[in-house]
């Protein structure tokens, strides 16, 4: 009630000189406007960044076999053959922090369709879970291959957009057969476009197929590590006749009927890596621990024995990128804060002028019974009202500005209620801080001298 009355008095006092009030508050308007625009554009940028990171698989963990070494010579990461598809199933089953996991077999080979050919970046042998792990969303065309295809080692594949462009000239590849290392694959689906990732790696230059098919038919090896160099896996040059690089087919290929009659014997199959997705970014660390524990147990590692696998996540990359954007936003925010400071000094200046100008009024108010603290409150509230009005106008201005930026420059922008709340608090704070000294001065006036002031 009292505060409301004081606020009304303050409004009336400000209305007596609206032009000056407007000009005084301009600093706050610009300052708050800049803060709001900065926050919204900053939030938009970091949201866009998060989306980009998510497209690379934000919560993805990569589990690779450890290093093989012989006689003190290390062969580099991924050179042992300790990971199996069963490991993949086990971690998915036993780690509650994981959303999904997919075994991965990589190959690099020439792909032929009609008279065209192309060597994709990678040919991944995997399970349908891979699409979920990578957040690949829905396919552009067709259906993903099924778990049954994986079990049966069916020759089906999903093409990335780059391959569609290179091999099919943008006609629909669905149902067509492509050849990878002379093995015919039916195209069952086309991935939606994902674009280049942050390292410039074309994420659409990829073929997905059941890992069993890639493992046993394309790579053609079961126990050796996949050699990923294209020259070793396939050749298109004329010397290939002289120096055959293909592995000899000792046995004739089985027909479908023969395959059905002779189910693939269970054998030890190693995979190149496992890709797993944590439920959320917060669950990445627990997921790493859980996976470590499960794999150590499965691989029968004694305490003290080093891991024969390693687990990596994208956290470092994510951190670096978000640190950079945060730094930029904070920098701009600091500049905006400085303009708020300047606005605050403007408020203080005008409030001091106002106190001097209204010395007689202050004297009069004291004569009719205002105490020092009543006067202090009146001028403080006046400064806060001034700042809050400026703040409100600044919010409108800043929001309008960021919308304009979005409209004209197509920058991503995100409305942030936190920024608006902060702006209100900050402008009230500026009013209190910079209004205090003038208000305090006013409250200390002597009524007789104030009344006599010319």
Partner 1 sequence: MELITLHGIEKTYQMGDIAVPVLKGISLAINQGELIALTGSSGSGKSTLMNILGCLDRPTAGEYWLEGQETSQLSADARALLRNRKLGFVFQSFNLLARTSALENVAMPLTYSTENLSDAETRKRAAEMLARVGLADRLNHHPAQLSGGQQQRVAIARALINRPPVLFADEPTGNLDSKTSEEVLQMFEQLNAEDGITIIMVTHDPKVAGHAKRVIRMEDGLILDTLPAADQRRETSGGAA
Please say which residue, 217 or 365, places its beta carbon nearer to partner 1. 365
Pick the binder of partner 1 from 47, 77, 428, 451 (CB under 8 A): 451
CB of 347 to partner 1, least distance (A): 22
Q: Is 368 in the site for partner 1 (CB under 8 A)?
A: yes
Please say which residue, 429 or 447, places its beta carbon nearer to partner 1. 447
CB of 373 to partner 1, least distance (A): 8
The two three-digit tokens of residue 202, written as one number: 């074309």
Q: Give CA–CA dist 444/228, Å, rounded.
A: 84
Which of the residues 301 through 360 are near partner 1 (CB under 8 A)? 360
Among candidates 285, 220, 313, 276, which has minimal Cα distance to 87?
276
Please say which residue, 16 or 20, places its beta carbon nearer to partner 1. 16
Residue with tokens 């904070």: 330
CB of 365 to partner 1, least distance (A): 7
Stretch that binds partner 1, among 100-108, 291-299, 364-372, 429-437 (CB under 8 A): 364-372
Q: With b meaning 16 or more CB within 10 Å and e meaning fewer, what string describes 109-139?
A: bbbbbeeeebbbbbbbbbbbbbbbbbbbeeb
Q: Is 453 in the site for partner 1 (CB under 8 A)?
A: no
Pick the binder of partner 1 from 230, 286, 372, 429 (CB under 8 A): 372
Query: Cβ distance 127 to 158 under 8 Å?
Result: no
Site string for partner 1, 142-181 (x = CB under 8 A): ----------------------------------------
The two three-digit tokens of residue 175, written as one number: 């149902």
Q: Give CA–CA dist 315/321, Å, rounded.
A: 10
| CA Rg value for the chain | 35
Q: Is 371 in the site for partner 1 (CB under 8 A)?
A: yes
Stretch that binds partner 1, among 4-12, 28-36, 224-232, 329-337 (CB under 8 A): 4-12
Q: Is 230 in the site for partner 1 (CB under 8 A)?
A: no
Bridge partners of 158, per DSSP, are 189, 208
DSSP structure string for 260-302: HHSPPPP-----SEEEEEESSGGGHHHHHHHHHHHHHHHTTPP
DSSP structure string for 426-453: HHHHHHHHHHHHHHHHHHT--HHHHHH-
What count of other Cβ atoms lies within 10 Å of the Cβ of residue 86? Answer: 13
CB of 370 to partner 1, least distance (A): 5
CB of 376 to partner 1, least distance (A): 12
H-helix segments, 62-113: 85-94
Q: Is 361 in the site for partner 1 (CB under 8 A)?
A: yes
Please say which residue, 66 or 363, places its beta carbon nearer to partner 1. 363
Please say which residue, 51 or 373, places its beta carbon nearer to partner 1. 373
Instruction: Give the three-class secondary structure for 113.
Output: strand
Q: Which contacts of 251-258 are long-range, i.e. CB under 8 A and separated by 24 or more positions? A: none
Pick the binder of partner 1 from 230, 286, 412, 447 (CB under 8 A): 447
Which of the residues 13 through 42 are near partner 1 (CB under 8 A)? 16
CB of 24 to partner 1, least distance (A): 18
Q: Is 370 in the site for partner 1 (CB under 8 A)?
A: yes
CA angle centred on 223, ends 219 and 224, rounded to 5°: 65
Please say which residue, 91 or 362, places its beta carbon nearer to partner 1. 362
CB of 374 to partner 1, least distance (A): 6
**Within 13 Å and on the Cβ side, how many CA atoms surround 218?**
34
CB of 26 to partner 1, least distance (A): 23
Among candidates 40, 55, 80, 85, which has minimal Cα distance to 336?
40
The two three-digit tokens of residue 413, written as one number: 């922008």
Pick the binder of partner 1 from 94, 132, 202, 374 (CB under 8 A): 374
Pick the binder of partner 1 from 352, 364, 422, 432 (CB under 8 A): 364
Among candidates 54, 99, 38, which has minimal Cα distance to 322?
54
CB of 13 to partner 1, least distance (A): 9
Please say which residue, 364 or 403, places its beta carbon nearer to partner 1. 364
Please say which residue, 278 or 350, places its beta carbon nearer to partner 1. 350
The two three-digit tokens of residue 134, written as one number: 């990578």
Q: Is 193 in the site for partner 1 (CB under 8 A)?
A: no
Among candidates 205, 152, 136, which has minimal Cα distance to 144?
136
Residues that bind partner 1 (CB under 8 A): 1-2, 5-6, 9, 12, 16, 360-361, 363-374, 447-448, 451
């Amino acid at each position: 009630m009292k505060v409301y009355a004081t606020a009304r008095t303050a409004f009336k006092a400000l209305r007596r000189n609206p032009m000056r009030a407007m000009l005084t508050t301009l600093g706050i308007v610009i300052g708050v406007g800049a803060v709001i625009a900065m926050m919204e554009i900053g939030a938009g940028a970091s949201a866009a960044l998060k989306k980009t990171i998510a497209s690379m698989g934000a919560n993805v963990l990569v589990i690779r076999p450890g290093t093989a070494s012989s006689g003190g010579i290390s062969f580099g990461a991924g050179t042992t053959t300790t990971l199996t598809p069963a490991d993949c199933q086990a971690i998915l089953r036993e780690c509650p922090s994981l959303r999904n996991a997919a075994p991965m077999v990589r190959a690099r080979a020439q792909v032929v369709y009609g008279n065209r050919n192309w060597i994709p970046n990678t040919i991944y042998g995997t399970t349908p879970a891979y699409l979920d792990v990578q957040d690949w969303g829905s396919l552009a065309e067709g259906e993903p291959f099924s778990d049954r295809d994986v079990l049966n080692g069916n020759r089906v594949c999903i093409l990335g957009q780059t391959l569609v462009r290179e091999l099919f000239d943008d006609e629909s590849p669905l149902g067509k057969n492509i050849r990878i290392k002379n093995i015919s694959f039916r195209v069952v689906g086309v991935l939606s476009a994902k674009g280049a990732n942050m390292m410039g790696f074309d994420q659409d230059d990829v073929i997905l197929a059941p890992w069993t098919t890639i493992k046993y038919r394309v790579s053609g090896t079961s126990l050796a590590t996949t050699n990923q160099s294209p020259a070793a896996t396939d050749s298109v040059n004329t010397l290939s006749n002289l120096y055959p690089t293909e592995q000899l087919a000792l046995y004739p290929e089985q027909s479908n009927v023969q395959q059905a009659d002779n189910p693939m014997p269970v054998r030890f199959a190693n995979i190149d890596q496992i890709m797993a997705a944590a439920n959320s970014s917060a669950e990445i660390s627990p997921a790493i621990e859980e996976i470590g524990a499960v794999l150590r147990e499965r691989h029968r590692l004694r305490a003290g024995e080093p891991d024969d696998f390693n687990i990596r996540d994208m956290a470092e990359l994510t951190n670096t990128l978000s640190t950079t954007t945060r730094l930029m936003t904070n920098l701009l925010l600091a500049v905006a804060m400085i303009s708020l400071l300047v606005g605050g000094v403007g408020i203080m200046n005008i409030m001091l002028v106002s106190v001097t100008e209204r010395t007689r009024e202050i004297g009069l108010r004291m004569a009719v019974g205002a105490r020092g603290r009543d006067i202090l409150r009146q001028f403080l509230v006046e400064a806060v009202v001034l700042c809050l009005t400026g703040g409100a106008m600044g919010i409108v201005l800043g929001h309008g500005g960021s919308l304009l930026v979005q409209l004209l420059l197509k920058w991503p922008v995100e409305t942030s209620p936190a920024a608006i709340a902060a702006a209100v608090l900050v402008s009230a704070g500026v009013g209190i801080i910079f209004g205090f000294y003038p208000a305090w001065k006013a409250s200390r006036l002597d009524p007789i001298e104030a009344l006599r002031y010319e």
